[in-house]
Amino acid sequence: MSFKRVLRSSARTPSDHSSKDLAKADDVQTEAKTRQKATKRTITDTKGRTSSTENGSPSTPRAKRIKTGENPQIPNAPSHVSSHGTLEPSVTPKSIDTEKLFPNRPAEPHGTNATLKTPGGSRLVPHSKEVVDSSPIKSGLSKPTTTTQHLLEQACAHLVSVDARMKPLIERHHCRVFSPEGLAEELDPFESLCSSIISQQVSGAAAKSIKNKFIGLFHNTPDNSPEVPAVFPTPTQVFDCQIPFLRTAGLSERKAEYIKGLAEKFHCGDLSAKMLLKASDEEVLAKLVAVRGLGRWSVEMFACFALKRMDVLSTGDLGVQRGMAAFIGKDVKKLKAKGGKWKYLSEKEMLDISAPFSPYRSVFMWYMWRVEDVDIDAFT
C-alpha cells in the first residue's frame, strides 16, 4: 500500500509583463518557466515519499494518512467484527500474498490442524493423501469443513454469535495461535512433550538450559569440525539410553524416567504423529494422560497450542477459571480470598458456560486468558 503526497510548491507564477519589460528581462522569464515546471513536478517513491523542489533536494515528507478500514501492520491481521456481530475481513496490503506466505490447506475444528514432524524427518500434513489413505470415515478423520486461511475467522464469528461480549475482546487481541501464520508452524510431538516434562516445576531459564544440555548429549561435535545445528534426539535414541546418562543433562531421576518412558511409547508405536493426527480429542487425552509424567493440564495445553486442536477447555486452569468468572460479571477480587480449587467457578459452571462455544472452545479459552491478562507465553 503506498501513501501519495502531493507537493505544494512555494513557487509563484510571475505576473504578466508588458512587451517592453519582457524584452528587457529574458533572464527573468527563463527563471519563471523553470519555477513553473518545478511546481508541477511530483515524484512519489515506493515508500510514499514525495521529493520535489526547485533545486532537486528532498522536500519534508508529510505524515502518513491511512484510509479508513486499512490495516498495514501485519499480513494476517484479524478480521474485525461489525456492529451486527459478523466478521468483516481487514484490508491488508495488496502487495502481500498471505496464501504464499502461509499456504492454504484443509482444516477441521474437531481434529489436529498442525503439521507434524516424524522421527524419520518427514512431515505429516493434516488431511493430506499420506494421512487420509482411505475415505475420511474409514481413516477415522472428520471431513475438513474449512481451510487454514479461514479457520480463525469462522471461530471468531461463532464466538460473537454466541455472546456479543466477545466482540471487543476479539477486536483488541489477535489470536496468532490459530491464525494462518500459527497454523503454518511445524511441530515435533515427541520434542514438544519432552519439553513439557522438562519445564515442570522449574523456571523458564532453567528449563531452557536443561533442554539444551539434553540435546547436547546426542551431539558430540569435535572442536575442529564445522558446527552442525543440533536437533532434538529421536525416541529410539532416547529409549536406548540409561537413566544415569540422561540425568547428566540436569534432569531429576523422576523426569529422566518420564522422558525414557515417553520415548518407549513412541518407539514401540503406542504413540505416533499419525495417531495424533487421526485420533479424536478424547482419544488424544486418554492416550497421553496414560503416560507417566503427563498430567491432564499438560496434555490439554499440548492439544491446544501444539496440535492446534480447536475444542479444548482446561477447567483445571486457574487463569481460565478466573477469566470466565470476570467475563460473566463476578467480582474476582472478592472470590480470590475464598480459597479452594474452584474458588471462582465450579467445573460444572465452566462446562455449562463454554458449551455453546463448541467446537471453538480453544479460541474461547484463549480469550478468557486475555480477560485477566494471563501470561501464556510459557504454554506456547
Task: Yes or no: say if 96 and 75 are a contact pair by the CB < 8 Å rule.
Answer: yes
Task: Yes or no: say if 312 and 327 are a contact pair by the CB < 8 Å rule.
Answer: no
Q: Which three cell numbers stand for residue 289?
A: 494422560
Residue 34's closest CA among 8, 13, 58? 13
Q: How far is CA 342 from the centre of its chain?
A: 30
Quick one: pLDDT band at residue 144, thresholds 50, 70, 90?
confident
Task: Yes or no: say if 1 and 72 are a contact pair by the CB < 8 Å rule.
Answer: yes
Cα distances from 154 to residues 21, 63, 96, 358, in angstroms, run: 75, 36, 22, 12
Quick one: pLDDT band at residue 221, thresholds 50, 70, 90?
low
Higher pLDDT residue, 251 or 71?
Answer: 251
**Cα separation of 271 and 343, whole Å?**
36
Q: What is the mean pLDDT of the chain?
A: 77
pLDDT tens-place string over residues 43-94:
333 333 333 333 333 333 333 333 333 333 333 333 333 333 344 444 334 4
For 203-294, the fitting CATH number among 1.10.340.30, 3.40.50.720, 1.10.10.10, 3.30.300.30 is 1.10.340.30
Higher pLDDT residue, 120 or 116?
Answer: 116
> Any idea which residue has 487463569 for its cell?
319
Domain boundaries, the chain: 1-59, 80-183, 203-294
- Determine if the pTM surpasses 0.85: no
Task: Yes or no: say if 344 and 330 are a contact pair by the CB < 8 Å rule.
Answer: yes
pLDDT tens-place string over residues 341-357:
899 999 999 999 999 99
Higher pLDDT residue, 178 or 229?
Answer: 178
Consecutive H or E run containing 106: strand 106-107
Q: Are strands 123-124 and 115-117 parallel, antiparallel or unpaired?
A: antiparallel
**Cα separation of 324 and 354, whole Å?**
9
Higher pLDDT residue, 141 or 178?
Answer: 178
C-beta neighbour count of 308 within 10 angstroms = 24
Q: Which residues contact 56 (CB under 8 A, 6 or more apart)?
A: none
Q: Which three cell numbers stand for residue 232?
A: 532434538
pLDDT value, residue 20: 41
The b-or-e profile of 213-234 (16+ CB within 10 A means b, else e) is ebbeeeeeeeeeeeeeeeebbb
Task: Yes or no: say if 114 and 187 are a contact pair by the CB < 8 Å rule.
Answer: yes
Q: Which three cell numbers stand for residue 164?
A: 456479543
Query: How many helices (H) and strands (E) in the chain?
Result: 19, 7
pLDDT tens-place string over residues 303-337:
999 999 999 999 999 999 999 999 999 999 999 88
Task: Yes or no: say if 370 and 323 are a contact pair by the CB < 8 Å rule.
Answer: yes
pLDDT value, residue 235: 97
Task: Yes or no: say if 123 and 114 are a contact pair by the CB < 8 Å rule.
Answer: no
**Cα separation of 292 and 261, whole Å?**
7
Task: Yes or no: say if 321 and 345 are a contact pair by the CB < 8 Å rule.
Answer: yes
Task: Work out the percent of the chain whose per-residue pLDDT is above 70.
Answer: 66
